[in-house]
Structure 1
């Protein structure tokens, strides 16, 4: 990208948000040298070295230099607690902060999307886009690709407690599964991660970095979007703040919102697009009625069980300064060891009760334990068995609280508000305890530290879930995809905002329902598919 001459204030495409989806779009749309693409990112460059060390999320989450540091409203479903919701405020977005875990979800997730009228989003239609992104270290097959820029690799860390956890899951009847993104999701095995040779592979590194040399792509960091420009029912540009100046950029073809499940509905509402009475209550003139903006919020809520153990865990390896030095030296010299740790080592996808046709709960097993990552690990040997409901029924919302686009919106997750979710979370804790009671773990576990054995009845287990649960950082669905007959749909199956021209939403907010697993890989897929649709709609090659 040449820096010698000022860029025009008019572009073919303006992408708002350089996160998991925005970086993909910037790459794919700028492949056509005949178009001008502007990518706006409210955060800064991904220069913090901890971004690129896999375990660096301990340093970048809850850090205002890289994280929006959102906080939910007090939630009755979790004992009126407020939860921190990290979201990436940096090139790469949350793919620069997340736990690196590569999970696509279940085939039925996408078939359900298509079954609700979203043509082209069935599993057979989206699988090619997963493969297009991927550079799979294990090689190509019917489910995986090797020609994409996103490196997906096996973990570089193995520990005895993880092997025992896998054996314990098998002991209670959960099958082994070496490829959770292949033929079937059910089972237990080691996660794969978005990493290459011991370094994080964010979308900024995989997609944006190789595209930045193109003269037709302009990337602006520290560029805070304030509102969209509307001419009647046509969106033709964006107002943003950059270097303490208010600036305007116009789009010849489209503005594309890729600001995530919190940022995208916030920008729409600040621009007068949303539910009229809500907008009026905060002093925003309604320019276009779309009652679903900010509604339908979904997230995976995890209950983190911690077990003390006589078996050595990473708590023993990293809590002393000398051992930390040794771990750091190992990483620098070999790119192996604890600093290559993804957010979890072992997954389990299984049913919370008999009779279900597919897994409805997921485990993330970590060979360490901590109250909060920033506070360091516990001063004793322990591991974490975290379990979440894959397809929650509870629905929340994101709503702006003022006309000022710099004010954070109110986030209401409404966790455990649905009775079905309350039942599943109780059954999930029981499954976690069954795994812990199986011989491979039972013989090394000395105590259930959290929540503790005092919680036994269903009512007590539900109370424990309300007290000890945390987000697993997967907010989605606040700009729901659906047909124009769905009053809560915000975008159509081609991700165009209903009733407006020149505007699409491309990020995790368009998911009609949350996928059954971690959300980063599906978000990248959404952007890959959207880029092809955008090219097709404007007469270009896909």
Structure 2
């Protein structure tokens, strides 16, 4: 059997970054196992194409949570990338790194080397930022970050002006010295195409001849000799396949699939493993625990000025957009719909922002649950504003429900199970109303579509939140990093407690959720994992 120096399980945001860095450093032969297909579908590369991949069974795990009491008993959709590039190939491309205090907090939790100084260095190393090299940004790195301030829809600068009237300062660089204020989001595109982690890291690495990618392989179990990880068992086309390593295995399957794989391999809470007849290899009760995610809540409006709805609905608008994209790689097809936003403090005395704000110059109220109908918006001029608490207190878990690796695991986020999260969501909803009442937005808004003018007090708002809030797909923390095996899974070098030759590198290792979108932090973890392995 062929043996590899490193096996990476998962070609997602962190896995691609890790494999890419190891290959370009010239260290060994690397095998990357991916459960999904190659990233050949054209919708993966057209930026606005994420409206199509959002509910694509070939490219997306299309998970759903358990019924959520805090959200009126609803099951909440949880898309996860099942393709080379992982969720970076199907996400909304917003590039946010988190706040410095997030990572200094990780370090204070017993994770040396994860403070903002080291993390910022990793970010600068991975960036090829449109704003150029500075104390806050890198240039020449593998990942291009685009500044879209001059390309956004005309409604987006109107939003920024209204946010200033609501009390937020203008922020020209939400990834600069501070994220506080309102501005235009930066996105991961290059030349009008999506810049997934595969495009940034993995495809260049494959040209070195040191990386092999095996697609359509579902990893089902890590193989051990004693306490050393030596191989991976998987399934492809209904057949069992095995892969062996002489060096290390890095699990980079994401916040849902990484804990699932460890539990299937006999690593986790003994009582859970016994329930499904899995022989325990090592008791690590934190595997699957500490699940965190960001919730989001929208207000939707009819606009007195044209929104992106008209361009996407009319044949003339679609033809114009297509021509602009084909000829110049520009226009709405080259962008995300999450164009404006920012961060603010929900109450006096806070040392940093705790609420994220989004603005989208379109609406799609008629879409079915779980479907992001970006190409089929509402038949009127519409837009939305949204709030998302940055650091939720509610905690959940991920757990296998069968010893069959093809069975979807239990995903139990426990949204709004903490009273502080409810208070924060209500404060965010009140801010959206304040934003709508500013002179600039009052002149723009024809009417409030959702939740509607009848939603007049906190009780009505809370009911609307329970009925309408949704995940922004930032699950993390399920194999968290920390020094104590009793409540963490990996150490500060991302090594799984109690084993040799086994690391985890993805969003599951986050000790706490970063204050913002999680794709950039996941890639940063891949960068750091490569740094640790190369030093070793």
Superposition TM-score tier, normalisation by shorter sequence: over 0.9
Aligned to 1:285: 279
Provide the rounded CA distance (Å) in 2 between the counterparts of 1:523 and 1:417: 26
Provide the rounded CA distance (Å) in 2 between the counterparts of 1:522 and 1:334: 31
Where in structure 2 are the equivalents of 1:490-505 lying within 5 Å? 490-505=489-504
| Post-superposition offset of 1:354 | 2.5
Q: Deviations over 1:468-489 (max 9, x none)?
A: 10111111110010112x6220
Provide the rounded CA distance (Å) in 2 between the counterparts of 1:242 and 1:365: 42
Gaps of 5+ in 2: none
| Post-superposition offset of 1:324 | 1.7
Q: What SS does the aligned partner of 2:13 have?
A: coil
| Post-superposition offset of 1:32 | 4.2
Provide the rounded CA distance (Å) in 1 between the counterparts of 2:330 and 2:25: 39
1:181 aligns to 2:180 (yes or no): no
Where in structure 2 are the equivalents of 1:213-252 lying within 5 Å? 213-252=207-246
Q: What SS does the aligned partner of 2:24 have?
A: coil
Q: Decide which moves more: 167-176 or 105-114.
A: 167-176
Give 2:12's match in structure 1, choosing from 7, 19, 22.
Answer: 19
- Give the TM-score normalised by the residue count of structure 2: 0.97
2:248, 2:502 within 8 Å by CA — same for their partners in 1? yes
1:359 aligns to 2:353 (yes or no): yes
| Post-superposition offset of 1:287 | 1.4
Provide the rounded CA distance (Å) in 2 between the counterparts of 1:127 and 1:268: 30
Q: Deviations over 1:484-522 (max 9, x none)?
A: 2x6220111111011111110000000000000000111
Q: Deviations over 1:323-343 (max 9, x none)?
A: 222222221112121112214
Aligned to 1:204: 198
| Post-superposition offset of 1:284 | 1.6
2:337, 2:362 within 8 Å by CA — same for their partners in 1? no
Q: What SS does the aligned partner of 1:30 have?
A: helix
Q: Decide which moves more: 400-409 or 225-234.
A: 225-234
Q: Deviations over 1:132-190 (max 9, x none)?
A: 11001121100111120100111263233211111111012200111111111101100
Displaced runs of 4 or more, over 4 A: none
1:454 aligns to 2:448 (yes or no): no
Where in structure 2 are the equivalents of 1:190-339 lying within 5 Å? 190-339=184-333
Aligned to 2:145: 152
Q: Decide which moves more: 473-482 or 277-286.
A: 277-286
1:91 aligns to 2:81 (yes or no): no
Provide the rounded CA distance (Å) in 2 between the counterparts of 1:275 and 1:215: 40
Provide the rounded CA distance (Å) in 1 between the counterparts of 2:506 and 2:315: 41
1:133, 1:145 within 8 Å by CA — same for their partners in 2? yes
2:27, 2:534 within 8 Å by CA — same for their partners in 1? no
Provide the rounded CA distance (Å) in 2 between the counterparts of 1:278 and 1:131: 41
Aligned to 1:468: 468
1:9, 1:248 within 8 Å by CA — same for their partners in 2? no
Distance 1:355 1:270, change over 3 A: same
Provide the rounded CA distance (Å) in 1 between the counterparts of 2:205 and 2:237: 24
Q: Deviations over 1:256-314 (max 9, x none)?
A: 00000001001001111100111111222221101011111011100011011111100
| Post-superposition offset of 1:34 | 4.9
1:166, 1:189 within 8 Å by CA — same for their partners in 2? yes
Aligned to 1:368: 362
Give 1:104's match in structure 2, choosing from 76, 80, 97.
Answer: 97
Provide the rounded CA distance (Å) in 1 between the counterparts of 2:462 and 2:139: 44
Q: Decide which moves more: 500-509 or 154-163.
A: 154-163
| Post-superposition offset of 1:250 | 1.3
Give 1:72's match in structure 2, choosing from 62, 65, 68.
Answer: 65
Q: What SS does the aligned partner of 1:87 have?
A: coil
2:233, 2:240 within 8 Å by CA — same for their partners in 1? yes
Q: Decide which moves more: 216-225 or 89-98.
A: 216-225
Give 1:116's match in structure 2, choosing from 104, 109, 116.
Answer: 109
Provide the rounded CA distance (Å) in 2 between the counterparts of 1:158 and 1:182: 20
Where in structure 2 are the equivalents of 1:455-534 lying within 5 Å? 455-484=455-484, 487-534=486-533
2:266, 2:279 within 8 Å by CA — same for their partners in 1? yes
Provide the rounded CA distance (Å) in 2 between the counterparts of 1:51 and 1:465: 31
Aligned length: 529
Provide the rounded CA distance (Å) in 2 between the counterparts of 1:94 and 1:449: 31
1:157, 1:340 within 8 Å by CA — same for their partners in 2? no
Q: Decide which moves more: 51-60 or 323-332.
A: 323-332
Provide the rounded CA distance (Å) in 1 between the counterparts of 2:354 and 2:486: 28
Q: What SS does the aligned partner of 2:414 have?
A: coil
Provide the rounded CA distance (Å) in 2 between the counterparts of 1:433 and 1:9: 61
Q: Deviations over 1:363-420 (max 9, x none)?
A: 1100001133237211111111011000000001111100001111011111000000
Q: What SS does the aligned partner of 1:280 have?
A: helix
Q: What SS does the aligned partner of 1:433 have?
A: helix
Aligned to 1:3: none
| Post-superposition offset of 1:322 | 3.4
Provide the rounded CA distance (Å) in 2 between the counterparts of 1:49 and 1:34: 33
| Post-superposition offset of 1:247 | 1.4
Gaps of 5+ in 1: 1-7, 538-542
Provide the rounded CA distance (Å) in 2 between the counterparts of 1:418 and 1:338: 39
